Every structure is written in structure tokens, then in C-alpha cells.
Amino acid sequence: MKEIISNLKSEFPDEIQTLIKVSEDVINHPMFKKLNNIYNIKKYSEFQIWCVWDFMSILKQVQNFIFCNDILWLPPENPNAGAAFYRLIESEETDLGFKGGDLNRASHFQSFRAAMQELNADTKNIDNFLELIKTGKTLPEALNKSGASPQTKSFLLTNNHLIKQSPYNAIALITLTRENFLPAVFKSLLSYVNENEKIELFVWYHKRHIYLDSVLHGPLSIQIFNEYFTNKLLIKQSIIASIESLKARNELLNEINEQLN
């Protein structure tokens, strides 16, 4: 994250300063200090699973932008970005599962849901949401009928609006609010978690992400970003979109914080 911010800071000092501020608000959110017991970790996971689904959907927007996904195929306009994207999404959708667990290969969404089951967390709302999506419900309809919390809805709808507004926003969110940002968030989270066998998969999931995002996904997302963001207007818009998304995430963390002991 420091590398890409450093490269952009001289051209967009005000926007980058705001991005740094809202990023630090998330990384240093007081909610993480409460993740020192099983009950709070379980409640946190019931919110976080929605963020995992949200990320997978942002990836789909980028995939649809880079590649032709119709039966009547057309070649990609940017194979370099395409190659980087396929390397990134391979582990997001078909990563190695937790060693010794039931999942041999799994998407990161499935791995996190398995961690919730280990915690005896409630997956009813997110499972219901996926069933509603399968039947063709729109995102607002599915969220309203699924039991999602107010700030969960706001976070997902904010990101959905941004990526529909422009596929460039989707690339920005992946690069500036997820792959190069979440390792710092997850390190903050794990610094308060008391590791034990009851949360083994939960801890593994976060350590796996810290590793993948730091050594592979972060650099790949920057490569994709650099392929497409070639003028100042697009870059400025990408930073503004990322700020909006991070503010919505911070509001979600505020809501989670109120639910914890």
C-alpha cells in the first residue's frame, strides 16, 4: 500500500491525505480490540462474511471488464492485465483449503464460511441471501429479505453503486481498499485474537490472506491498476471511489463494535 500511495502522493496530495486518514481509521478501529474472546469473534464473523462476498462480486466486475464472457468470444484488449487477473482470481475462487480440514479446494468465501461453522456462528442470513441471488433477486431485494444489518446493506450497496458506475472503480477498490490494504487490517485483528483450537480455521484464513495479499495479490492488483490508470482524471476518480468505500467500511465497523461485549 505504501508503494502505490507514495507514487500518487505528489500528483494528488489532498486526495491521498484523505485516503490515508480513512485507511488509518479502519486499521486502528477500536472494534478490533474486542476480538479477544470467542463470542465477539463469532459475532464479528457474522458481519465479515458479507464483506468477503462483496469482494468476490467486485472481482467479477473486473473480470467482465477485462474479458469477453459471452459464448461468442472476442480476444481481450489487454492480455497483460488479463494474465495478472487470472493469477489473482485463481486463489480467490479455488485456493488450497485449510490443512487437515474438509475443504481440499475452496473459494475464500467458502473457507471463511467454514471458519464460521467452526465458531458455531450463524450463517442463516448469508445463506438465505445467496439463495435469493440464485433466484434472480436484485441486490437491494436480496439484502432486504435476507436479514442483513443496516450498515452491511449500506456497505454492499455503496460498493455495488461504485463498480456499476465504472469498472475502473472496481479495479481501484481491489487495489486500494482490499489487496494492498487488508494485510494491515488483518494484522491489527490478529494482534488481539487469542489463538486456540476453537478458532484455528479463523486464524488460518486471516494469515493466509496476509501472506497471499502481501506476496502475490497486492503486486498483481497494482499491475492491473497500472495497465488501466494512465491519466490523471481516472486516477483521481479511483482515489475518490476508494475513500467512499473505506468510509462505508468504517461505518460498518462502528455497527459491529456496538454489537460486541
The per-residue pLDDT for range 107-124, each reduced to its tens digit, is 999 999 999 999 999 999
So what's the pLDDT on residue 115? 94
User: If you classify domain 2-259 with CATH, what class do you get?
Assistant: mainly alpha
pLDDT(261) > 80: yes
Element housing 9 (H / E): helix 2-9
Sign of CA dihedral 236, 239, 244, 245: positive
Element housing 105 (H / E): strand 105-106
Element housing 95 (H / E): strand 95-96
Please give the mean pLDDT across all residues of the chain. 95
So what's the pLDDT on residue 47? 98
So what's the pLDDT on residue 103? 58
So what's the pLDDT on residue 131? 98
pLDDT(10) > 60: yes
Residue 226 vs residues 43, 229, 238: alpha-carbon distances, Å: 38, 5, 12
- Backbone angles phi and psi of 192, in degrees to 5: -105, -15
DSSP state of 186: H
Grid cell 467458502 is found at 110
**Which among 159, 209, 160, 165 has a CA at the least distance from the CA of 184?**
209
189-231 pLDDT, tens per residue?
Answer: 999 998 887 899 999 999 999 999 999 999 999 999 999 999 9
So what's the pLDDT on residue 96? 84
So what's the pLDDT on residue 5? 84
